[in-house]
């Protein structure tokens, strides 16, 4: 079999490195290119004409939708690699080649890549274009519905997908390229940076109190003083989180005054 080329599109360098490591284990994968944003992805896709596109959905300054729209007339087998909410994934499952949720399970990734290989080998180019265009429409509609308010979060735990209602969240804690979602009595790892998450959270419901912490306003039980003029937020589960000094004046003006 002729080796197939792959273009990896993700704004996070660490995520791209993880994918390229997984691709290196597939002996039928040849050239692998990378792109970190929409413009770069489109330029490299048109230049190198990859057989398979591994595409994140949410990226700063644009989205995977824009990449698909620009490449809609250039057939390519697309696998979404995303932390997008589970109910939105169901909206396009019937049309996309496949999707893989973050954090990535290597066995699941290989299954998706085999499906993409089969699709890329297909001679039914017109059908692939039609399916790709239908996929874009389905994804846009799902994202529109989701963006009408702070959506719930779907996390993967022990092979299952668990829905976490936004109003049950106590806080988000940064863990490198992930955040840990804390609810009463449990916590879950979620694939997104804290800064990216903050940009799409409803500021009426959530507030950043530290470089590494966002809390839900409704979960704040009280705010108490700490030594040297610091403040501590006490949440409804009695957990305590120190307010960062650079955030103290903002918290005082938005929550206390």
The least confident of 43-47, 66-70, 243-247 is 66-70
State the Cα–Cα distance between residues 251 and 230, nearest whole angstrom.
12
**Chain mean position to CA 230:** 34
When mean pLDDT is compared across 35-49, 123-137, 192-206, 226-240, the lowest value belongs to 123-137
Name the superfamily (CATH) of residues 165-256: LytTr DNA-binding domain (2.40.50.1020)
Question: What does the domain layout of the chain look like in residue ranges?
Answer: 4-146, 165-256
Residue (of 42, 64, 40) closest to 138 by Cα position: 64
Is the pLDDT at 1 greater than 80, yes or no? Answer: no
Best CA proximity match to 210, nearest among 239, 174, 176, 180 = 174
- Higher-confidence residue: 6 or 252? 6
> Does 216 sit behind a cis peptide bond, omega within 30 degrees of 0 on the bond before it?
no
Distance CA 132, CA 77 (A): 9
| pLDDT-based confidence at residue 134 (cuts at 50, 70, 90) | low
> Would you say 35 and 11 are in contact if contact means Cβ atoms under 8 Å apart?
no
What is the structure's pLDDT at 23? 97
Spatial strand order in the sheet of 206-210: 186-190, 178-183, 169-175, 213-216, 206-210
CATH fold of the domain at 4-146: Rossmann fold (3.40.50)
Each residue's pLDDT tens digit, 92-116: 543 467 778 778 889 989 988 998 8
**Most confidently modeled range among 60-74, 79-93, 137-151:** 60-74
Q: Report the predicted TM-score, pTM, of the whole model to 2 decimal places.
A: 0.53
Residues 82-92 pLDDT 10s: 876 554 454 35
Q: Kindly list the distances between the CA atom of residue 27 and the CA atoms of 5, 24, 53, 76, 112, in Å, as whole numbers in the listed order.
A: 12, 7, 17, 20, 15
The reported pLDDT for the residue numbered 121 is: 80
């Amino acid at each position: 079999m002729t080796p197939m080329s792959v273009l990896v599109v993700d704004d996070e360098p660490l995520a791209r490195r993880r994918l390229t490591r997984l691709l290196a284990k597939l002996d039928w994968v040849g050239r692998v290119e990378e792109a970190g944003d929409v413009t770069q992805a489109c330029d490299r896709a048109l230049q190198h004409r990859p057989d398979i596109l591994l595409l994140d959905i949410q990226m700063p300054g644009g989205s995977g939708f824009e990449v698909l729209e620009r490449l809609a007339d250039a057939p390519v087998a697309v696998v979404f690699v995303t932390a997008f909410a589970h109910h939105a994934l169901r909206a396009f499952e019937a049309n996309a080649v496949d999707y893989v949720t973050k954090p990535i399970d290597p066995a699941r990734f290989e299954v998706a890549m085999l499906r993409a290989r089969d699709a890329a080998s297909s001679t039914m180019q017109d059908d692939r274009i039609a399916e790709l265009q239908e996929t874009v429409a389905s994804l846009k509609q799902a994202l529109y519905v989701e963006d009408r308010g702070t959506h719930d979060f779907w996390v993967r735990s022990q092979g299952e997908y668990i829905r976490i209602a936004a109003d049950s969240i106590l806080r988000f804690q940064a863990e490198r390229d992930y955040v840990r979602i804390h609810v009463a009595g449990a916590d879950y790892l979620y694939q997104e940076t804290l800064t990216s998450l903050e940009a799409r959270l409803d500021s009426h419901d959530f507030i950043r109190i530290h470089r590494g912490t966002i809390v839900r306003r409704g979960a704040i039980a009280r705010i108490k003083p700490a030594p040297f003029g610091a403040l501590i937020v006490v949440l409804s589960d009695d957990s305590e989180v120190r307010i960062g000094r650079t955030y103290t004046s903002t918290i005082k003006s938005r929550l206390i005054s």
